[in-house]
């Protein structure tokens, strides 16, 4: 591999140029997970030097589990915080654990990261969805969101823990007692669950605007997620942007039926 700056060799062990020291793009700058039944895309955007959002997406026992986290960049180790959170939470959810335990596991994982500066414990937001054939359980802390886009209706399922852009709740060692919001939504018909970080919803006027962009692509989760990320980047990409799109009932479940 050669350096994107000077063309010299890059140290494979740490991904920095052996000559000029420039950091090379990491695997996290653009992440895509495509399960077929659901898909997620996370991107660094155009302004931030790294992607501090993280996402996890897995399917098990006819259910889809998704977690999105946004590292708080004014704290320290924001990228590690979000990754630790989604990795810990998804394991609990896939094992059949309740959302409240997934949040607790995520919080513990973030709180274990080192505190290198006073008052800047690594911290992040959290939103997860456990999606079965007929219900969607959402858990969240902070301002990452979950939406339900039905055939007619478009709803924000979460209520931001924030005053303006200042978070009022987060995960991490300095978060105090974390009390996640947990809500279960029972859709009346088919639709799409969308999880996203503020890198997307900052550019959305309302749930209806999201619905307009998602409905035409409801049966193609990967294309829908990619298009939404592309939309945010087209609007300036000022923040990291992460989107998970999970249709319900899942497209493959539908195709499996005779």
Task: Decide: 111 and 126 in contact? Cβ < 8 Å.
Answer: no
Tell me the closest approach of the beta carbon of residue 159 to another protein, in angstroms: 27
Q: Which of 12, 27, 117, 165 binds another protein (CB under 8 A)?
A: 117
Q: Is 118 in the site for another protein (CB under 8 A)?
A: yes
Tell me the closest approach of the beta carbon of residue 74 to another protein, in angstroms: 5
Tell me the closest approach of the beta carbon of residue 14 to another protein, in angstroms: 7
CA distance readout (Å), 151 to 44, 45, 128, 215: 31, 30, 22, 8
Q: Which of 73, 183, 202, 253 binds another protein (CB under 8 A)?
A: 73
Number of residues that bind another protein (CB under 8 A): 20
Q: Is 202 in the site for another protein (CB under 8 A)?
A: no
Q: Which of 12, 49, 61, 163 binds another protein (CB under 8 A)?
A: 49
Phi and psi dihedrals of 201, rounded to 5?
Answer: -70, -15
CA distance readout (Å), 240 to 72, 75, 78, 164: 11, 15, 12, 18
* Closest to 139 (Cα-Cα) out of 48, 65, 242: 65
Among residues 21 and 234, whose Cβ is nearest to another protein? 21
* Closest to 90 (Cα-Cα) out of 121, 126, 36, 51: 126
Residues 18-47 that bind another protein (CB under 8 A): 19-23, 47
Q: Is 115 in the site for another protein (CB under 8 A)?
A: yes
- Check the CA dihedral 149-225-218-127 and report its sign: negative
Residue ranges in contact with another protein by CB under 8 A: 5, 14, 16-17, 19-23, 47-50, 73-74, 115-118, 120
């Amino acid at each position: 591999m050669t350096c994107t700056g000077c063309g010299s060799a890059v140290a494979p062990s740490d991904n920095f140029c052996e000559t000029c020291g420039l950091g090379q793009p990491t695997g996290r700058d653009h992440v895509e997970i495509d399960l077929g039944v659901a898909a997620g895309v996370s991107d660094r955007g155009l302004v931030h030097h790294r992607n501090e959002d993280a996402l996890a997406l897995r399917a098990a026992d006819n259910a889809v589990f998704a977690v999105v986290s946004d590292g708080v960049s004014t704290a320290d180790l924001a990228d590690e915080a979000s990754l630790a959170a989604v990795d810990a939470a998804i394991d609990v959810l896939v094992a059949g654990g309740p959302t409240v335990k997934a949040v607790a596991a995520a919080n513990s994982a973030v709180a274990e990261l080192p505190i290198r500066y006073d008052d800047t414990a690594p911290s992040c937001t959290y939103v997860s969805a456990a999606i079965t054939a007929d219900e969607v359980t959402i858990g969240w802390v902070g301002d990452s969101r979950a939406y339900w886009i039905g055939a007619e209706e478009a709803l924000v399922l979460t209520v931001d823990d924030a005053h303006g852009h200042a978070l009022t709740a987060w995960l991490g060692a300095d978060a105090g007692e974390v009390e996640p919001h947990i809500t279960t939504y029972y859709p009346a018909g088919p639709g799409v669950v969308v999880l996203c970080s503020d890198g997307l919803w900052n550019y959305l006027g309302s749930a209806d605007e999201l619905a307009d962009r998602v409905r035409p692509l409801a049966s193609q989760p990967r294309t829908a997620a990619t298009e939404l990320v592309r939309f945010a980047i087209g609007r300036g990409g000022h923040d990291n942007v992460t989107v998970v799109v999970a249709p319900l009932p899942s497209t493959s479940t539908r195709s499996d039926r005779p």
